[in-house]
Amino acid sequence: METTTVKLSVPVGEEVIHLSALDQQAQRHYAKPMLFFKFDHEGLNDPVFEHLRKGLSVALSETPDFASTVAPLPGSTRKELQLQLNPESGASWRVVDHTAEVNKDAWSYGTFEQLADKHFPLADVPRELLVNPALIDIPEDVRKLPALSVQLNLIEGGIILAICWHHTVSDARGFNVLLNSWARHTKESILRGEPDDATTPAEETRERWRLDHGAANATIAQIPEYVVDAKARSPRSTTSLHLLDREDPLGAPFQISTWYLSSASLQSLRGSLGADGDSGAFTPVEAVSALFWKHVSRARGLLDRCEDGATSLFTTRLEFRARLLPPLSSDYVGNICEPNAHARLPLSELCSPATGASLAKVASAIRVATEAVDDAAVRTYIGLINTLPAVTDLTWNYNGFPGPDFGVTDVSGLDICRTDWGPSLGVPVCLRLAYREGGLLYLFPIDPQGGLEVQALCEPDALERLKADREMAKFVTFKG
């Protein structure tokens, strides 16, 4: 299982990529999405793996930031980072055949069909089986890190494609730009024998400098629900260059559950919250977020567990490309998902009986929160970062799980599960994540049928109450 490097199809020279203030402040960890493809491969020698490799090579030339190395900014006293490119740059690449005789004892998690029957759970699969081991237990004294690492996991009847990228490089929408390019060139390679030539990335897709300029005299008082704390994210080692944030384990037993809303269910939910059945009153994301915030809070018994007058904070990460003045390109590669939108509600209101009217109030609070994040809010956030001793000093002041606050990561608007990778592969069957944060809810990409898969995190006893919730079951199907 040799690890090799997929280099850019068009070599580059020595280059340093400047990171914006928002990139500097982004979470410093590896996002670890997994794409599942149903595929009757022929083992390690199946030609499709070479097509995937060629497609990635061209995609990296179109999104070179993902081929870089993440390293400290020389001379910085503010924990700043930069991206470095050179003629040897590329993504680390491994292909692991879990069906091979030598690996069969380690892989006891079933065939693709068996995983599909259980809706592709990953909670019990050790990460080191799916992800390049070099990204597990990374030493804190490491001097540089790869921006991107790929591992193709072959199982009977399919592939689990693990694509890990350092979040400093880009947010999920920027990552989706890489995926679309990779899928397009892989498809062309399968159909014609070779991918198309790389196109030069448009200048506006790399204008990170536009997110360096913030409002003057910004203060923490202007950014509710955040705090300045130099220790909150710092690694535990005093010798660390802070290429990665510290990992803090969740402080209570939890269980991850998967739920599904069909296109018809989404329409019905939105209609139940709208005036006179107007399904356009709230977006699908607003309606689903409200549904889960309310019902999960009730299932967890937060009103009985917390003090009188206690509240729950809702937060969600948005990407603001279209909200900036002027807007950033939709293909912009970089981070633009801070500050979070936030709404706070009394637990007495949040945990009241679930009716269309009560859910509509919750959805309204979410809408007000998301609409409040505009160009001015982003500039205030950047302005504050620029005044701090270190770019990582600003952090969330949220009491997430097992506390009462509720976080949502929404990637439902990405076309990841509708993008065709060509003959043999087709579109991914689903997306999963090989990591777990304190956030409670993940809205996965809309599928080809217009449905939405959701993953929630809560205590095991709360999950049982959620599964028995008849009002919840009107709109959502429990998958496992």
CA 213 to chain CA centroid, Å, is 26
- Residue 378's nearest CA partner among 18, 22, 19, 20 is 22
Q: What are the residues facing 153 on neighbouring strands? A: 96, 160
User: Cβ distance 228 to 394 under 8 Å?
Assistant: yes
- All residues at 6 or more sequence positions from 348 whose CB lies less than 8 Å from its CB, including other chains: 303, 309
Any idea what the Cα angle at residue 36 is, between residues 429 and 89, rounded to 5°?
130
Catalytic site residue from 166, 167, 295, 342: 167
- Residue 82's nearest CA partner among 23, 5, 8, 26 is 23
- All residues at 6 or more sequence positions from 50 whose CB lies less than 8 Å from its CB, including other chains: none
368 Ramachandran zone, left/alpha/beta (phi>0; psi -120 to 50): alpha
What CA–CA distance (Å, rounded) separates 434 from 243?
20
Examine the residue annotation and report whether 167 is marked as an active-site residue of this protein.
Answer: yes
Write b or e for each residue in 222-247: b if 16 or more Cβ atoms lie within 10 A of its Cβ, otherwise e. Answer: bbebbebeeebbbbeeeebbbbbbbe
Q: Which residue has the tokens 């002027």?
A: 326
- All residues at 6 or more sequence positions from 424 whose CB lies less than 8 Å from its CB, including other chains: 39, 41, 48, 190
- Residue 148's nearest CA partner among 81, 87, 34, 65 is 65
- Take residue 196 and report the two structure tokens written for it: 């198309």
Positions annotated as catalytic residues are 167
